[in-house]
Amino acid sequence: MSILSDDMPNLEHATVSDTATFIASGAGVGLSPWAPGTMGSFLGVLMLWPIENLPLALCWVVWMLVAVVAVWSAHKAGESWGVIDHPAIVIDEVVGVWLAILVPASLLAIPMPSVSVMLGCLLLFRVYDILKPWPVNWCERNLQGGLGVVCDDLAAGAMAGLCMTVGYTVLASMGMH
């Protein structure tokens, strides 16, 4: 979301008032006055732990369902709060960081990645989400409503997951994983 400091939305207008705003705000985590996107990303990592022992295919199914709900809730919350990509909407960070972690888990054919890989994915995801290189910025600018809110984070998550996979592969080939 590109917002000039003069146009910064008032976080006081973001309140949890229904199911959509509850989900979009990550159960209120997005109302944090300090780095709500980062708080939402941490929430995403924490939310993976209960499902980490499920088969990987089932983790992908859960992720897809949550991603669909994320688009819906982000759209509804944006309408409620008067800013389509309001900073309090963090469900997009949740599904973005999940994607960042599921990519190396799938491509490397390993069980849910180690804590160090998860933290690496989290860090890379936040870098791509904040800097918004192409295609992240394209998604943000060209897709509308909840789809645009979520898809830029999915692009950041895919990029982070692929970079982590390459990094892990390189380190493993050097005997340093």
**Residues above pLDDT 70, as percent of the chain:** 92
The two structure tokens encoding residue 115: 């804590």
pLDDT digits (tens, 9 = 90+) for 24-55: 999 999 999 999 999 999 999 999 888 888 89
Across the range 92-113, mean pLDDT stands at 91
The larger pLDDT score, comparing residue 154 to residue 108, is at: 154
The two structure tokens encoding residue 169: 């592969």
The two structure tokens encoding residue 128: 């791509």
The pLDDT value recorded for residue 4 is: 35
Where residue 5 falls among pLDDT bands split at 50, 70, 90?
very low
pLDDT digits (tens, 9 = 90+) for 119-156: 999 999 999 999 999 999 999 999 999 999 999 999 99
The pLDDT value recorded for residue 117 is: 87
Q: Is the pLDDT of residue 8 over 90?
A: no
Where residue 176 falls among pLDDT bands split at 50, 70, 90?
confident
Q: Is the pLDDT of residue 2 over 70?
A: no
- Which ranges of the chain does DSSP label H, i.e. alpha helix? 19-24, 36-48, 56-81, 91-107, 115-131, 136-142, 145-173
Contact between 9 and 87 (Cβ < 8 Å): yes
Contact between 129 and 93 (Cβ < 8 Å): yes
The two structure tokens encoding residue 28: 């209120």
Across the range 92-112, mean pLDDT stands at 91
Q: Is the pLDDT of residue 157 over 80?
A: yes
The pLDDT value recorded for residue 115 is: 85
Chain-wide mean pLDDT for the chain?
91
Domain ranges within the chain, ordered by starting residue: 14-173
The larger pLDDT score, comparing residue 126 to residue 2, is at: 126
Q: Is the pLDDT of residue 9 over 70?
A: no
65 to each of 14, 23, 58, 92, how far by Cα in Å?
25, 13, 11, 13
The pLDDT value recorded for residue 60 is: 95
Contact between 85 and 1 (Cβ < 8 Å): yes
175: left (phi over 0), alpha (psi -120 to 50) or beta: left
Q: Give the DSSP letter of residue 12.
A: G
Closest by CA position to 125, among listed 108, 109, 102: 102
